[in-house]
C-alpha cells in the first residue's frame, strides 16, 4: 500500500480536483483506493456526501486519534475518510511524536488498499507536515502564475526538514500545472499559447532547486468540481475521470515512480 499526499501551501490551485480525479481514475483501473480528506473545509468530502449528514459521524480525525473507522463507500473500488472541523485542533498543539500518528494509523488500519490519496489543507502548517510525513509520494498541483510559484518556494522550504529528519524516504513524484490555456507541443516541449513564459519560469525554478524533470503534466482548463455534481449534489461517480482531468499519463508516471 502506498500513500500519495496532494500538497500545496496555497489554496485554489486544484488540489481537491486533482485528488478526486486521480482517485477515480486509479479506481477505474482496478486499484482499491481510499480518499482521505485532511482539510477541515471538507471540499473533497462534500463532493460525495453532505457535510450536514456527517455531523457527529466518525471521520479522519478519529483515525488520527487511533480508531479504525469504516470508510464511506463511493464506488466499487473507491472509499472515503471524511473531514471534520475537529481537524482544527491539530493546528494548536501537537508534539513531534503525534506528527507520525496519521501515517502510522492509515498504514495499520487500511493496509488492504492499494493506495491512499490524501487531500491536505491549502495553508502550510501542522496538518501539511503530517501529510508529508505520512506520504510515500507527494504530488503538487499548481497554477501557472507568479504568486503560485512564490508559494511553491515556501512549500519546498517546508519540505526540507521533513526530508532530512522526519520522512527521508518521501518521494516528490512531481508537479501538475493546472488550468493551462491552450496546450500544444513543439519538438516534444509543451507550448502554452497564453502561459508559455510561465512554463519556462516554473521549469527554471525547479532546476534552481535541483528538482528538474519534476513536471508530471499540464492540465488544460476544465469544468470545476461543483459543475460535475449529479442531481443529488455529489460527484457523478460514473463520469470518466478523464472528463474531469486528463491524468492518464500522470497516473502512469506515478505508477512508474512509486511502484518500480
CB contact at 8 A, 141 and 175? yes
- Whether this model's pTM surpasses 0.75: yes
**Rounded CA separation 83/144 (Å):** 28
**Helices first, then strands: H and E counts in the chain:** 8, 10
Ordered structural domains, the chain, with CATH: 2-258 (3.40.50.300)
Q: How far apart are CA 54 and CA 41, in angstroms?
A: 13
CA distance 77 to 20: 13
Instruction: Mark the ranges of the chain whose per-residue pLDDT is less than 70.
Output: 181-197, 220-252, 259-260
- What is the DSSP code (8-state) at residue 235? B
pLDDT value for 229: 47
Instruction: Encode pLDDT of 157-213 as tens digits.
Output: 999 999 999 999 999 999 888 777 655 555 555 555 555 667 778 888 888 888 888
CA angle 50, 56, 59 (to 5 degrees): 75
Among 145, 204, 137, 200, smallest CA distance to 178 is for 145
Amino acid at each position: 500500500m502506498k500513500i500519495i499526499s496532494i500538497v500545496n501551501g496555497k489554496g485554489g490551485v486544484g488540489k481537491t480536483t486533482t485528488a478526486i480525479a486521480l482517485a477515480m481514475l486509479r479506481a477505474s483501473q482496478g486499484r482499491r483506493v481510499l480518499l482521505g480528506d485532511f482539510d477541515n473545509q471538507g471540499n473533497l468530502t462534500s463532493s460525495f456526501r453532505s457535510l450536514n449528514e456527517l455531523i457527529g459521524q466518525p471521520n479522519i480525525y478519529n483515525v488520527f486519534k487511533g480508531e479504525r473507522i469504516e470508510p464511506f463507500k463511493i464506488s466499487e473500488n473507491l472509499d472515503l475518510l471524511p473531514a471534520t472541523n475537529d481537524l482544527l485542533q491539530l493546528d494548536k498543539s501537537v508534539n513531534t511524536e503525534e506528527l507520525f500518528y496519521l501515517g502510522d494509523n492509515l498504514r495499520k488500519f487500511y493496509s488492504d488498499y492499494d493506495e491512499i490519496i490524501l487531500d491536505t489543507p491549502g495553508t502550510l502548517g501542522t496538518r501539511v507536515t503530517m501529510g508529508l510525513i505520512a506520504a510515500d509520494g507527494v504530488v503538487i498541483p499548481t497554477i501557472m502564475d507568479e504568486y503560485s510559484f512564490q508559494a511553491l518556494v515556501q512549500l519546498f522550504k517546508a519540505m526540507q526538514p521533513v526530508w532530512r529528519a522526519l520522512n527521508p524516504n518521501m518521494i516528490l513524484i512531481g508537479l501538475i500545472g493546472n488550468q493551462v490555456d491552450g496546450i500544444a507541443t513543439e519538438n516534444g516541449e509543451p507550448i502554452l499559447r497564453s502561459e508559455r513564459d510561465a512554463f519556462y519560469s516554473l521549469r527554471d525554478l525547479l532546476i534552481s532547486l535541483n528538482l528538474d524533470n519534476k513536471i508530471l503534466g499540464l492540465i488544460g482548463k476544465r469544468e470545476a468540481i461543483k459543475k460535475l455534481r449529479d442531481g443529488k449534489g455529489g460527484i457523478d461517480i460514473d463520469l470518466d475521470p478523464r472528463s474531469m482531468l486528463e491524468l492518464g499519463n500522470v497516473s502512469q508516471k506515478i505508477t512508474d515512480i512509486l511502484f518500480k
